[in-house]
Structure 1
């Protein structure tokens, strides 16, 4: 039986392996101060980045007299098909992650000499700023050997860390968010409304519109204000003081040189910024604009239907939940009638009362709503015809189950059907060529941005533009007659430029722009195709412009009264647009002829001016062509850290774990060696050595262990079953191989595990051997406010203890989901053994897991061996107030068809195990760190009812 089971195990894993996606092959470019790791396709981007990294390091050293003492790891990849990056500070294992997809024209990070240069400078400043060694010998020694302490000392308030990196990004390039016209216009508008964030909300926001971005946008301006008023060296002294022999946090270091708490000086900064913003508004002329619709929070991408009867808009609430909504454009006569009748009735009942003023708009009637499924998002929606919209959503890449990219979807309004139209397209914004059943889109892959024509009938693709690193395309827009294509393009060290291509002759024309502009985005054709509307920023204001092709004349339609976006021609004389306030965007109409003025001073250069007067600045951005030697990624190049963990369980014991943990940068090989010892009693003592290897979607694990468990010494030893051994000693080895497969929201994981140990229960020693085969399947369907999913775990075991053969199985089925945004789950468990016993109770730890004690049903609010039986059944469920919040739960236990007891209470678990990319690349002493917290009421007829608690901080390799 045992040999047969082995064949089945490996046969199952081979079958699963055939379903897996292609494995990413990593390469490394080693320079003097950096190891740049990249995957296939990113070679050119990574080579250029390696050159830029060394140049940035030299300039930052010159500017700050600071650098990294350790060699930094840099990972180049594209997991989200969006512009981003992050850094993990550490004095001995600093990390930078660079996402290669460049930013789009209407973002606050679009103002750069080049995406690669801006990103590298920003993330490197993070490392230099936060990874400086401590001048206290004992603190730095502890940082060198213990990663959690190293990271803890590197942490600063978010607004400080992001604000300072943004400040340096701007000072050293002359571009960046400090000099961004769009950002300045937004903050000016917020200040005029008295809506700049209080200091208490500057770090993480307060659910108000754009508040999560203010650590960057306001943080950089506050720090620049401090430098201007107190001097650059005063601010720089804060960073020096934070690494002093005397221990100081940020507030203490700040107050020592500035003389006041940062919150107090922030109030002064806000007052000055608000005063200047209010003063600049005094000379603004009135704008003949009317409120058309009041959106509740965030809205973007206004799109009128071909007939003009409907408008599509993507809306997002304060929690980040997104919908694509369709509104009728005609006036909401019913709402207006109801309002008037209500006011009339009010005055009839009380003639002396004062009626409500009519609102500026009664809004529009919502006709259709599309909620994205499985968190894929809805972006860039536009009409194909009156009943059909196309949009882009994120879909798992065909060759990488850990990354997503944009694919085209179709939404049919009449039957509410959504269909995916492209596979492996990797597109962002697009225009629809209805005549040829094609789309013209910006495609991004491996950092290259270009325009393509995708024919939807056969999937053929034609490149319409240059395909050079450093060039970025955006906002393709086709005129209604299909004769003209407008699009945006940005090159290195340039502002965004607006072009129009004649689709018949293929000749291109650069559309005039106002002199001194810096922000340019969102072109939109008039209905007759003779005028192109767009949004541009000049001198801190965002305005609407229109270029009339028949008159060859540039017209300005607004003068900074609103932060405008997404212009659409509503009728012959009205323009519809979004105007942004501190409460989010709302839709307005503008009488075009009443506000128009001719622009006579036009921009005559593509180059963007550098606005910094800093003494040390980077040279112009470029893509470096010199090839660099690459080598296969070395998974045996490891770093290590001391580990310290502790677990307290009121039902059993308190355990201290001490060890050493190491891994390579990508965690393809991880290991953990340590000792565990109960504190205050003799319940548990032992040692372990774990190793884990990952290759693509396949994982190998092995564990050597030796432990002694004294069941009677537990805190609730009196509850231990009479059949339980008093002393259990076990020394042995276990190994497991698993393989996972994922397709969108469906995942499958199969595994085979073996175990061999010597077991001593006081009645003589015996060998224990077993084999386990398992399959885990899960699926979910998530509509944001509502979700449903299921998970099934099935395991079959075949083993031998001494001279006795035994078999068994474990089954668990879970149904989970959300209702009204509240997570819920219901779970059923069953386990059975033939010719052996199951043990109920105890907790998993770095020393003990399912591969060490396979016949244990771990329950943290019960002691080890609280119950012994051949069959276990468990029923339970729980709910939480929001995702990530603690669970309110209930659990019932049955042994051999008899109720053993029940528990209910609160529990919460989190861990850093590669579920997101920042955890994936965390130092060895941080990754796999797990936190368990619980408080429960345990009730049983076998022992006294009691409250139980547990708290664990340990490593789950």
Structure 2
């Protein structure tokens, strides 16, 4: 419970401003009965479509959850990372939802949907309705004043409950989503067969292969099992019990409804699913498995398999563990070095076995082979969707890079294997993937921006893109394209197209034209591939409820042929250029293996689906009742006050200069244009004590801020170092303007401001005025490959002012360089500053003391804050400092 409260506290702190895109953008708003839908102007078509359906979705979700709230919900539409996602923040005072418009790929865990917008909105609205249920007969005023504005269901629900239930409702109301998908069935089936379903303690975890997905996939299946066991409405009873006046933890509420603890019933569920998985494995084995031979057993994720045009190398994207991703290339044949290494191993093994007390180790088959070439992450951004260039010496791939507002956009890059060099092909083109033509001068790709997906032609020399004219499926303006593949003669494009509620395999001329669907006995997933002779298309499809490889006539004539029968799922066919073998991926409980299938294969008869095998096989798809779409009001410019909330604030600090506590209130709107804090500080010793009113306006490209303050400081009362000459009571104001820009691997920022204060020296003397103008510039640059690299930071400021009729000026310049190592970050930094003119003691550099929320930073740039030292431990007109530090990765420790 304590960990959950800490997590929700961090969520609250990190989500004061919900918008990831710039608050100064041209945000618009559409209002419905229960929602305020906010969006930057280019997202208007997607947002208007969401607003038209959202009241119907909200009504159906409220009925399913068994709770209705009249509170308005803010919803933000954006796309800051070029990836499919959504978030819900179930605050009682201002619940809000964030929707990212990029659609998911068909082979992803969220790739099964009838309408991506409806699926995403249903899932996130369920979070809000489910988790914002207040305590029964709670005292509303106390809930509003709580520093943590969460209800009892949000505070007490394990992650698997929150995510599993939203996933369950997503499937129940849309008829699609994860509960209806072959993906969820695949994960449950294969993990059950291998005895690897997570224990109850790991159900909410995020570690390990697919660990973060278990709350959604296994959690939703467990909740379905519970309701089937206890009867319809059992989950609604659980939510009511969790919000009951009787209180209690989640396990106690669960036991009150289901009669046993959640861990006990989950163990039973896991046992039943494991038994069913083994039974399903026997059924498939009896029908005859066609799995090919293992080529490499790999831990973690593997995607985008392809054989080089000359048939000598294998390309894939690897994600072996969280935070690690790279493009990998293996030679198909063993290298001389690998053969020599194996021979040495055999000789060592033979020497050991001469001892009769030794036994031979069972060799691992196939023998693990590390890739010969790797392209790791750069500046934290991973490469994706790799495709061989026609020469077989370079790879075309996509990678994210920030635009000037910090929004991540996908572009094309090329990687040359011989020297490891990387060249950027497009800039801010939003091309999520592309396949190069056989001549290598152009590529056919998918562009996705503002929720709209389209095929584009890319000039690989100039990086220019233009939309490919497409005829057919025009009645669905929200169709989604994925994985375009050019035929070996470059004349035809094969791709997956989501239109009219499902994925389809289609072809069209490479110059654009009429779409032709290639019929399949199931829904396709993953990348299609042209056969060696160009007459057929290989792709994964789920005709038996299991992803297996199909070979279809590219002209759409004869029915497709089933090539594989696996227990997990087969994806990403990669035919050899000579047509004698087909490499593919198979999902296991450990990761994604690479397998090799000899061609041709014997014909396989379809097994069909067994309804009783659910959830290890998906049910036959039954259409769900469609959501109603209503007319919505015209959009209007975004206004800050409807979503503005006020929350209590409490912080504290302890150091050699004394202890201080700040209490007050803060206010913000959901986009983050206006942010203000009114706080009072109390404490002992040096202080400062007093009050402050600060506000920031981010509605322009240049952020504006102002701060009024009254501060009493008494460094003369410090126990370690007494500075009575600096005891003062100050009242003042500071105005500031800030501008920043992001670029690939770095960021720059410039601040300029001015202020004035009235100073009353407490050691005696007359009151006087102090005024100044200051400018500060900062720049940071990082160049990282995986976790290794370097970083450079520059920081400079200049101030000019007048204190008690004495003019002065001051500058500080500094910089640092960091070495990023796999286990630590080593940093060396320094700065130097000088003061000119006729400064008073209040203008000199002052070393020591902790930051304060009361005093504006720009008004006291002469303060060199070091929380470990008392305030003003040293004073002077000049300052020089050198600092070295070692930050150990994964440990909150700086040396």
TM-score over 0.5 for the alignment?
yes
* Partner Cα distance (2:780, 2:151) in 1: 35
Aligned to 2:5: none
Structure 1 residues 146 and 711, CA, compared in 2 at 3 Å: closer, same or farther? same
Q: Do residues 744 (structure 1) and 744 (structure 2) align?
A: yes
The alignment partner of 1:725 has SS state of helix
- Residue of 439, 448, 456 corresponding to 1:444: 448
- Residue of 696, 704, 710 corresponding to 1:706: 710
Whether the 8 Å contact between 2:79 and 2:100 is mirrored in structure 1 is yes
Shift of 1:771: 1.3
Aligned to 1:904: none
Aligned to 2:488: 480
Q: Do residues 292 (structure 1) and 299 (structure 2) align?
A: no
Structure 1 residues 852 and 829, CA, compared in 2 at 3 Å: closer, same or farther? same
Deviations 1:827-886 (A, max 9, x none): 213333343422222111221342353332111112222222223333223233326x41
Aligned to 1:859: 866
Aligned to 2:517: 510
* Partner Cα distance (2:172, 2:303) in 1: 31
Aligned to 2:467: 462
Aligned residues: 846
Shift of 1:627: 6.3
Shift of 1:610: 8.7
* Partner Cα distance (1:600, 1:190) in 2: 21
Shift of 1:90: 1.5
Aligned to 1:501: 508
The alignment partner of 2:799 has SS state of strand
Whether the 8 Å contact between 1:636 and 1:669 is mirrored in structure 2 is no
- Residue of 608, 633, 638 corresponding to 2:638: 633
- Residue of 421, 427, 434 corresponding to 2:425: 421
1:606-617 matched pairs, under 5 angstroms: none
Deviations 1:312-335 (A, max 9, x none): 111123132111121100135334
Shift of 1:508: 4.3
* Partner Cα distance (2:740, 2:52) in 1: 37
Structure 1 residues 866 and 710, CA, compared in 2 at 3 Å: closer, same or farther? same
Q: Do residues 161 (structure 1) and 162 (structure 2) align?
A: yes
Aligned to 1:903: none
Aligned to 1:848: 855
* Partner Cα distance (2:370, 2:117) in 1: 45
* Partner Cα distance (1:627, 1:261) in 2: 46
Structure 1 residues 448 and 132, CA, compared in 2 at 3 Å: closer, same or farther? same
* Partner Cα distance (2:512, 2:85) in 1: 38
* Partner Cα distance (1:639, 1:351) in 2: 80
The alignment partner of 2:233 has SS state of helix
The alignment partner of 1:148 has SS state of coil
Structure 1 residues 219 and 726, CA, compared in 2 at 3 Å: closer, same or farther? same
* Partner Cα distance (1:161, 1:21) in 2: 30
**Higher mean C-alpha displacement, 290-299 vs 33-42:** 290-299
Deviations 1:500-556 (A, max 9, x none): 235589554322312xx3453321111111221111124442211112459834211
- Residue of 510, 529, 538 corresponding to 1:533: 538
Structure 1 residues 288 and 265, CA, compared in 2 at 3 Å: closer, same or farther? closer
Shift of 1:21: 10
Whether the 8 Å contact between 1:519 and 1:538 is mirrored in structure 2 is no
Shift of 1:361: 1.7
* Partner Cα distance (2:755, 2:202) in 1: 53
Q: Do residues 96 (structure 1) and 97 (structure 2) align?
A: yes
- Residue of 673, 676, 680 corresponding to 1:675: 680
* Partner Cα distance (1:135, 1:244) in 2: 5
1:53-132 matched pairs, under 5 angstroms: 53-132=54-133
Aligned to 1:394: 400
* Partner Cα distance (1:776, 1:365) in 2: 42
Structure 1 residues 77 and 443, CA, compared in 2 at 3 Å: closer, same or farther? same
Aligned to 1:14: none
Whether the 8 Å contact between 2:23 and 2:673 is mirrored in structure 1 is no
**More strand as a share of residues:** 1
Aligned to 1:892: none
Aligned to 1:5: none
Aligned to 1:952: none
The alignment partner of 1:597 has SS state of coil
Structure 1 residues 504 and 40, CA, compared in 2 at 3 Å: closer, same or farther? closer
Aligned to 1:372: 377
* Partner Cα distance (2:308, 2:627) in 1: 41
Q: Do residues 362 (structure 1) and 351 (structure 2) align?
A: no
* Partner Cα distance (2:239, 2:369) in 1: 53
* Partner Cα distance (1:478, 1:238) in 2: 53
Q: Do residues 662 (structure 1) and 703 (structure 2) align?
A: no
Q: Do residues 281 (structure 1) and 281 (structure 2) align?
A: yes
* Partner Cα distance (1:39, 1:687) in 2: 36
Aligned to 1:943: none
* Partner Cα distance (2:666, 2:229) in 1: 47
Structure 1 residues 824 and 256, CA, compared in 2 at 3 Å: closer, same or farther? farther
1:235-250 matched pairs, under 5 angstroms: 235-250=235-250
Whether the 8 Å contact between 2:24 and 2:698 is mirrored in structure 1 is no
TM-score under structure 1 length normalisation: 0.84
Aligned to 1:792: 794
Shift of 1:816: 2.3
The alignment partner of 2:329 has SS state of strand
Shift of 1:767: 0.9
Shift of 1:381: 0.5
Structure 1 residues 646 and 424, CA, compared in 2 at 3 Å: closer, same or farther? closer
**Higher mean C-alpha displacement, 499-508 vs 468-477:** 499-508
Shift of 1:365: 5.9
Whether the 8 Å contact between 1:293 and 1:361 is mirrored in structure 2 is yes
Aligned to 1:942: none
The alignment partner of 1:110 has SS state of coil
The alignment partner of 2:858 has SS state of coil
Aligned to 2:613: none
Whether the 8 Å contact between 1:87 and 1:96 is mirrored in structure 2 is yes
Whether the 8 Å contact between 1:328 and 1:364 is mirrored in structure 2 is no
Whether the 8 Å contact between 1:544 and 1:557 is mirrored in structure 2 is yes
Structure 1 residues 853 and 244, CA, compared in 2 at 3 Å: closer, same or farther? farther
The alignment partner of 2:187 has SS state of helix
Aligned to 2:17: none
* Partner Cα distance (2:442, 2:511) in 1: 16
The alignment partner of 1:291 has SS state of strand
Whether the 8 Å contact between 2:290 and 2:563 is mirrored in structure 1 is no
* Partner Cα distance (1:145, 1:631) in 2: 32
Whether the 8 Å contact between 2:505 and 2:524 is mirrored in structure 1 is no
Structure 1 residues 569 and 151, CA, compared in 2 at 3 Å: closer, same or farther? same
Q: Do residues 753 (structure 1) and 753 (structure 2) align?
A: yes
Shift of 1:25: 0.7
Aligned to 2:343: 337
Whether the 8 Å contact between 1:181 and 1:538 is mirrored in structure 2 is no
Whether the 8 Å contact between 2:61 and 2:169 is mirrored in structure 1 is no
Deviations 1:788-808 (A, max 9, x none): 111111111111221222221
Shift of 1:683: 4.2
Shift of 1:439: 1.1
* Partner Cα distance (1:418, 1:797) in 2: 43
Whether the 8 Å contact between 1:181 and 1:518 is mirrored in structure 2 is no
Shift of 1:122: 0.5
Deviations 1:32-69 (A, max 9, x none): 21111111221111111111111111222333342233
Aligned to 1:574: 581
Structure 1 residues 600 and 164, CA, compared in 2 at 3 Å: closer, same or farther? closer
Whether the 8 Å contact between 1:452 and 1:465 is mirrored in structure 2 is no
Aligned to 1:801: 803
Structure 1 residues 100 and 507, CA, compared in 2 at 3 Å: closer, same or farther? closer
Structure 1 residues 545 and 354, CA, compared in 2 at 3 Å: closer, same or farther? same
**Higher mean C-alpha displacement, 537-546 vs 703-712:** 537-546
Q: Do residues 187 (structure 1) and 196 (structure 2) align?
A: no
Q: Do residues 825 (structure 1) and 827 (structure 2) align?
A: yes
